[in-house]
Structure 1
Amino acid sequence: MTYTVYGAVRSRAFRVLWLLEELGLDYSHVPAGPQSEEIRKVSPLGKIPVLVEGDAVLRDSTAILTYLADKHGGFTHPAGTIARAQQDAWTFRILDEVESLLWTASKHTFVLPEEERVPEVKPACAAEYARNITRIMEEAEGPYLMGESPLVPDIILGHCGTWAQVAKFPDGGAAFADYLARLRARPAFQVAAAS
């Protein structure tokens, strides 16, 4: 079985590439940008990432990560367990408290038409991001969010940490820097980053 991942490495597609590497799965990568003709063939809205498996097409990085982790039994707790509910709570929290702030700032920097951008929103997003990262690191249960092993929410938060650096958001403090260093030292992260 081979997967095809559509999306530029410097996008949420990185999360999918990283997890595929962590799971040791075969895949091909089409590094197309959003709204490109190539993407519109598999994603009518032009959004990335997209995962194609046979005739099945999945769109949304978190849905793809969850599917791959469940299917291949890695980077996740089993569905229907308390540990999985706690893992999902971390995932949803990161999407709400971290990713949404980065996406809002990005939209008002380069995504929205210029006449719709409100640049004044970016400092508020950055300040809230810093507060949220501090609290998340205070609540982490080990070297990773839920203990000794990284899970799907760690992949999302690790990607967001890189996105935040590119967006010139606050660094998140020493604990977050150490956390990101652990994630970035993983061979799968490095292979995906070199894609």
Structure 2
Amino acid sequence: MYDVIGSPTSRAIRVLWMLEELGQPYRLQPEQPQSEIVRQHNPTGKVPILIEGDHKITDSTAILTYLADKHEALTAPTGTIARAQQDSVTQQILDEVEAALWTASRHSFILPKERRVPGLKDTLNWEYNRGIHNVMARRKGPYLMGEDFTIPDILLTHCATWAKFAGFDTENTDLVPYIKHTRARDAFRRLVPKKG
């Protein structure tokens, strides 16, 4: 049994989705970043945190990679060219897509008001769109790496959902049908029941 600490509206949703895909039992302890409980487990105050026995893992991508490798699913095997290519797409999503969203969030509500630069959002929206275009240009099939759903698909779907709530516009015509496809997976539907 895994324990996950974090809010389902944060990057913790990535870990929950992975666990649903893997069919692994877990308990969610909903906590917001920087809460006292979160800081007891992670001095940075960031979520998610995965607890397995006496061990704690932080950072959503590290957790996804650990779970995928451990359960030999949703990833190419370690030490293969396919894995190196998958890791390349993963890093590209983090560098070119998520970074723009994270910076926008920091300058919207995370940083102290006197440190925020609200005018950055237009530039960050442009960066986000450039990143989406670059990632989608590498897509090899219905999923980013081809026929198989893998870690990068969880990351990109989460980022695109985050972007929508952050008010970022997308200019990439392939993104919306791709996101509809990934969000139609049974594991995601169990996690976020369809409303109405």
TM-score, normalised on structure 2? 0.96
Aligned to 2:42: 43
Q: Mapping of 1:1-195 within 5 angstroms?
A: 2-194=1-193
Do the aligned partners of residues 133 and 70 (structure 1) sit closer, same or farther apart at CA in structure 2, a change above 3 Å counting?
A: same
SS of the residue aligned with 2:137?
Answer: helix
Per mean C-alpha deviation after superposition, the further-off stretch among 143-152 and 166-175 is: 166-175
User: 1:40 deviation in Å?
Assistant: 1.6
The root-mean-square deviation of aligned C-alpha atoms, in Å, is 1.0
Considering Cα pairs closer than 8 Å and 6+ residues apart, tell me whether 1 or 2 has the greater RCO: 1
In 1, the alpha carbon distance for the partners of 2:131 and 2:171 equals 9
Could you list the per-position Cα deviations for residues 87-136 of structure 1 after superposition, in whole angstroms to 9, with x for gaps in the alignment? 00000000000000000000000000000000111110101111221232
SS of the residue aligned with 2:118?
Answer: coil
Per mean C-alpha deviation after superposition, the further-off stretch among 132-141 and 81-90 is: 132-141
User: 1:172 deviation in Å?
Assistant: 4.1
User: 1:143 deviation in Å?
Assistant: 0.8
In 1, the alpha carbon distance for the partners of 2:187 and 2:154 equals 11
Task: Give the residue type in structure 2 aligned to 1:142.
Answer: G
Percent of aligned pairs sharing the same letter: 54
In 2, the alpha carbon distance for the partners of 1:132 and 1:58 equals 28
In 1, the alpha carbon distance for the partners of 2:67 and 2:33 equals 22
Aligned residues: 193
Could you list the per-position Cα deviations for residues 37-71 of structure 1 after superposition, in whole angstroms to 9, with x for gaps in the alignment? 12122112211000000000001000000000000
SS of the residue aligned with 1:70?
Answer: helix
TM-score, normalised on structure 1? 0.96
User: 1:11 deviation in Å?
Assistant: 0.5
In 1, the alpha carbon distance for the partners of 2:128 and 2:43 equals 31
User: 1:155 deviation in Å?
Assistant: 0.5
SS of the residue aligned with 2:163?
Answer: helix
In 2, the alpha carbon distance for the partners of 1:193 and 1:13 equals 13
In 2, the alpha carbon distance for the partners of 1:162 and 1:105 equals 14
In 2, the alpha carbon distance for the partners of 1:30 and 1:189 equals 19
User: 1:193 deviation in Å?
Assistant: 2.6
In 2, the alpha carbon distance for the partners of 1:172 and 1:125 equals 14
CA contact (8 A) 1:22 1:188 kept: yes
Could you list the per-position Cα deviations for residues 71-95 of structure 1 after superposition, in whole angstroms to 9, with x for gaps in the alignment? 0011001110000000000000000
In 2, the alpha carbon distance for the partners of 1:132 and 1:113 equals 27
